[in-house]
Amino acid sequence: MTGSLDGVKVVVVCGGTSAEAEVSLVTGQMVAEALERCGAMVRTVQPDGTLIDALRAGDADVVFPALHGPLGEDGCLQGLLEYHGVPYAGSGVRASACANDKITAKRIFRDAGLPLAADLVVSQAGDRAEAVKRVQEALGEDVVVKPACQGSAIGVSFARGPEELAAALAAALEFGDDVLVEERIQGGEITAGVLDLGGSPGPLPLIDIRTPAETWYDYQHRYTAGLSEHVIPAPLPESVYRLVQETAVSAHQVLGCRHLSRVDFVVSPAGRVALLEVNTMPGMTPTSLYPDAARHAGYSFDDLVSAFIRDALGRPG
């Protein structure tokens, strides 16, 4: 997969103002260094007027969007690049926007018949006490509360009972007008990377994400070295392993993703598989999952990012 990018002008967009800006800067640095090792002429910019100037000046043959969360994964940056006619790595406008909105994504997954946790949507405009009652009647006492359009587990919390649920809803609604509440399925946190070059998506090895007792894969455990263990390949029964991989590829396809995605699941001890979400631009930091899975499949980090760039430029992947 390795190939030269000699003379190719690549703009890596990272940072920004989202809650994931710090992680985005690390991802951007890792991507930029890899592309430079492949011979590309790399410029790293923030998603501001600097980027607009670079696009207008023709300083970019291709863009690598290393932004996480709003602006980077919601279709905004992709729409700007489409407007300026600049090729870019990763998913397009529609796939990015749909995947970024967990509520919209779940509707698409449900229509496609993919395995999901039961859920309910709570809106900012509704009566909070009535919302707590509806959630408990529909989903029970033990639930997961998620902002609709945040990544890296930001704003996510577990709630048991009406008081915890009310507090969790209030916290999640700080990030937007809608919140997704799901039944809590006890089980392992499994992630499946999808590699998609030339329109032929295939699954990477599954990862079983393990954290210390009484913890979970929250923001701190994602990005702090030593606080999580990535077991590759995930020790699942063959039939369950295959179902998770097949579901990951299906989720990638029904959203219309391109180049790469990371699909998160929970798998119960009894083998129940529940698709949680799709990340169209997964983290590329030293502790990130997607590069680990790719490395286990035989792809170096340089292989990955250079292949995405070449594919975006219309060259053989």
pLDDT digits (tens, 9 = 90+) for 228-274: 688 999 999 999 999 999 999 999 999 999 999 999 999 999 999 99
CATH code, residues 119-183: 3.30.1490.20
Residue pair 147/155 in contact by the 8 Å Cβ criterion: yes
Once rounded to an integer, what is the mean pLDDT over residues 99-119? 96
More confident residue, 268 or 176: 268
- Long-range contacts of range 230-235, CB-CB < 8 Å, 24 or more positions apart? 230/289, 230/292, 231/207, 232/205, 232/206, 232/207, 232/208, 232/292, 232/293, 232/296, 233/205, 233/206, 233/207, 233/296, 234/188, 234/190, 234/205, 234/206, 234/207, 234/208, 235/208
Residue pair 288/151 in contact by the 8 Å Cβ criterion: no
317 has a pLDDT exceeding 50: no
Q: What is the pLDDT of residue 29?
A: 94
User: Which one of 91, 152, 250, 306 is the catalytic residue?
Assistant: 152
Phi, psi angle pair for 136, to nearest 5°: -65, -35
d(CA 290, CA 205) in angstroms, rounded, equals 10
Average pLDDT, the chain: 88
User: Which one of 18, 20, 96, 306 is the catalytic residue?
Assistant: 20
Q: What is the pLDDT of residue 215?
A: 56
Q: Could you state, in order of their start, the residue ranges of all structural domains in the chain? A: 9-89, 99-115+186-312, 119-183
Q: Which tokens go with 241?
A: 């392993």
- pTM comes to 0.89
d(CA 210, CA 163) in angstroms, rounded, equals 29
Give catalytic status of residue 183 as yes or no.
no
pLDDT above 90 coverage of the chain, percent: 60
Same fold, 9-89 and 119-183: no
Q: Which tokens go with 94?
A: 């529609």
Give catalytic status of residue 246 as yes or no.
no
The torsion region of residue 90 among left (phi > 0), alpha (psi -120 to 50) and beta comes to: left
Residue pair 283/289 in contact by the 8 Å Cβ criterion: yes
Q: What share of the chain is helix, strand, coil (3-state, %, to 5)?
A: 40, 25, 40
CATH code, residues 99-115+186-312: 3.30.470.20
Give catalytic status of residue 73 as yes or no.
no
Give catalytic status of residue 155 as yes or no.
no
Give catalytic status of residue 279 as yes or no.
yes
* β partners of residue 165: none
For 14-160, strand residue ranges (E) read: 41-45, 62-65, 119-123, 142-147, 157-160
Q: What is the pLDDT of residue 316?
A: 44
How many other C-beta atoms lie within 10 A of the C-beta of residue 270? 8
Give catalytic status of residue 264 as yes or no.
yes
Strand, coil or helix: 13: strand
Give catalytic status of residue 217 as yes or no.
no
Give catalytic status of residue 310 as yes or no.
no
Q: What is the pLDDT of residues 17-37, one digit of tens each?
A: 777 788 889 999 999 999 999
The CATH T-level fold of domain 9-89 is: Rossmann fold (3.40.50)
d(CA 47, CA 79) in angstroms, rounded, equals 13
More confident residue, 174 or 289: 289
